[in-house]
Amino acid sequence: MVAMENGVPNGSAASIPHVVMLATPGMGHLIPLAELAKRLASQHGVTTTLVAFASTKSSTQHAFLASLPPSITSLHLPPFDLSDLPHGTTIETLMSEECARSVPALTEILTKLKETNHVVAFITDLFGMDSFDAAYSAGIERRYLFIPTNLHLLTLMLHLPELDISIPGAFQDLAEPLQLPGCVPIPGKDLLSPLQDKSNPCYRWMVHHASRSIEADAILVNSFDAVEPDVATVLQQQEPGRPPVYNIGPLILTESKSKSINTVPPTSSRAACLDWLDRQPARSVIFVSFGSGGSLPTEQMRELALGLELSGQRFLWVVRSPSNEGAVNDNYYDAASKKDPFVFVPEGFVERTKDVGFLVSSWAPQIDVLAHQATGGFLTHCGWNSTLESLVHGVPMLAWPLYAEQHQNAVMLAEGIGAAIRVPELKGKEMIAEVVKELMAGEGKGAEVRTTVPNLQKDALEGLSEGGAASTALAEVVGKWAGDQN
């Protein structure tokens, strides 16, 4: 351990272990890396530089980075021209291309950081695999892959190069669910969305990243054993040619930074939603949010609104303008609604539900909402950050996945561990009302989920405590840096 003073390790920068982390675009990638950096500082006296991309240099990101402790510095790569890519290029391709084109600039940054810091490791996530070339060139000896999601996603990526050869057709056409070692069987149509169209460049990018993942000295995963126990057992066994895997999660925001990561101007609306929760009975409200990047088509927004109304349950809904003109992940780079979202809910809905519902435009302080005693359920897109936040706060889930790995997360949560109920594929108002009532007050599957989630909450918190599984795993990784000299 390095001695700490005011959140900063004592000693010269040349002697303090320093880690450089590259956060590929998306708050869902940046937040867990920042939390890892906090944990490295508080538990092991390690300082960090967080490197972000110019494409996500927003007021939201700036405020978040400015809120981090002094042990974590940040900087942005220069902007890169992606105008040669065709209109409609997927987010996965945009991120991959931006990272590949950043290698010379990143090499320069890493080389300069090594001149003034004792750099012991470089960490990036799956879409940053080409940045390993920069770490190689800068002479950083230890390079780590960080998986901001879970072991199911990691297992799929580790097997993807061989699946690419053995499954010539589309994954969505598989006659049987894909069964990978230790994993819940995943129907082909629910597998990672960039794998669904093999003719799209994003598919080849995913195979490329998967092929390079074995170059990592180790793989750090933002998950914990209890939420996916069988695959955790499999990956804890060393396998020739595969880097060791460390479960170091859950990494979620350790405290509310409502002011720091706000994406809508009026602070009163945030305070109002929490004040409204204060007036509701314990565990009576279902929180409805599709993450910082998700939005629904207009028709699904309408059915959701009518379903919530029909359920008779109290609800707090973060409403965004619909995705009719683009994809369900249109808000990935900017969480703010492009139009007033309230004009898209059914006429009279707000007035009819004013006694049981509360609507917030674009953003709500999710950690505060999930931690509130009035919150008894979470209708979520199953993004992994949101999933972990829900589990850590003991809130059972309704799974309504949209993109990325969210569909396979939903299968894992509903069919595997039993922490969620899956919203039916045909999302009519009656079906939505039925599953909302089941989650909040049902005696069947709803009761099972409401029992399971608090047990997972206990396991998650125990793992983070001193001597717990996550803390022990991270300590093992850091232990390898002792005595390093660059």
Active-site residues, by number, are 29, 125
What are the DSSP calls for 273-288, one per residue?
HHHHHHTSPTT-EEEE
Q: Show the DSSP H helices in 140-196 as ranges.
A: 151-166
* One-letter amino acid of 252: I
Query: Residue 353: which H helix or E strand, with range?
Result: none
Residue 44's Cβ-side half-sphere holds a number of Cα atoms within 13 Å equal to 23
Pairwise CA distance, residues 466 & 472, whole Å: 8
Contact 346, 317 (CB under 8 A): no
Q: DSSP assignment, residue 309? A: H
- Tokens 């402790």 locate to 69
Rounded to 5 degrees, φ, ψ at 284 are: -105, -10
Rounded to 5 degrees, φ, ψ at 282 are: -60, 135
Pairwise CA distance, residues 192 & 186, whole Å: 10
**Which of 367, 372, 357, 269 has its CA nearest to residue 316?**
357
Rounded to 5 degrees, φ, ψ at 85 are: -80, 140
